[in-house]
A and B are shown apart, each in its own frame.
Chain A
Amino acid sequence: DAKTTQPPSMDCAEGRAANLPCNHSTISGNEYVYWYRQIHSQGPQYIIHGLKNNETNEMASLIITEDRKSSTLILPHATLRDTAVYYCIVPYSGGSNYKLTFGKGTLLTVNP
């Protein structure tokens, strides 16, 4: 998998936007960026993915830089329930490697 780098932790005030950065400078041209989160004691939850265009869904927005070497996940109005570990993943696109590799991620704490 292309290596990703994320800050270990971030804080955000409830109701404000949470912007979570991720560096993936070794990403290949056809590799997607995926974001997942894991709330304490729950299963991982898929959030969003993208290739090179910005993406938005009901949960979040994903901004990918033009050179594709970094991306930012945006939670527009963070709530206490968004406190979780957020994982940026660039899965291997070739061969028989079908697993998701979760690194250490970013622990986002949303404060009241």
Chain B
Amino acid sequence: NAGVTQTPKFQVLKTGQSMTLQCAQDMNHNSMYWYRQDPGMGLRLIYYSASEGTTDKGEVPNGYNVSRLNKREFSLRLESAAPSQTSVYFCASSWGLDSYEQYFGPGTRLTVT
């Protein structure tokens, strides 16, 4: 039972490049989330998915797109990376949006030069 897994663990991009961060959970959770954490700051919600087939914007969605591929997988895409997107990205899941018992993955450390 792996919980929430994320790939890759580390990534370096040049400005303007694109990439997709992958996230999968094996807890049969309905809801999934993408957060970013900048040094010395708290987590900020980028996008979330209440259930399979639905996605909604969080507080910092600009520059990102998401896909809820199926119940297990929720990917985050950067179409044209910018240095301001240098951050640690965490994926999380929960039974539902009304459950704040969220389980987090290990994170992807992204640097955009």
A binding-site residues for B, Cβ under 8 Å: 32, 34, 41-46, 49, 89, 91, 98-104
Sorting the interface of chain B by its residue count into under 10, 10 to 19, 20 to 34 or 35 or more gives 20 to 34
Most chain B CB inside 10 Å of its own CB: which residue of A34, A45, A99, A103? A99
Q: Known contacts being A42-B106, A44-B90, A98-B48, is A103 close to B42, with CB within 8 Å?
A: yes
A-B contact count (CB 8 A): 48
Q: Which of B72-91 contact A (CB under 8 A)?
A: 90
List, sorted by A's number, 17 A–B pairs whose CB atoms are closer than 8 Å: A32-B100, A34-B100, A43-B90, A43-B92, A44-B102, A45-B104, A46-B101, A46-B102, A49-B100, A49-B101, A89-B100, A98-B31, A98-B50, A98-B97, A99-B48, A99-B58, A103-B42
B binding-site residues for A, Cβ under 8 Å: 4, 31, 33, 35, 42-45, 48, 50, 58-59, 90, 92, 97, 100-107
* A34 B43 Cβ-Cβ under 8 A: no
**Distance, CA A43 to CA B26, complexed state (A):** 17
Query: 7 extra interchain contacts, Cβ-Cβ under 8 A, other than A43-B107, A91-B100?
Result: A34-B100, A43-B104, A44-B43, A44-B102, A98-B33, A98-B97, A100-B100
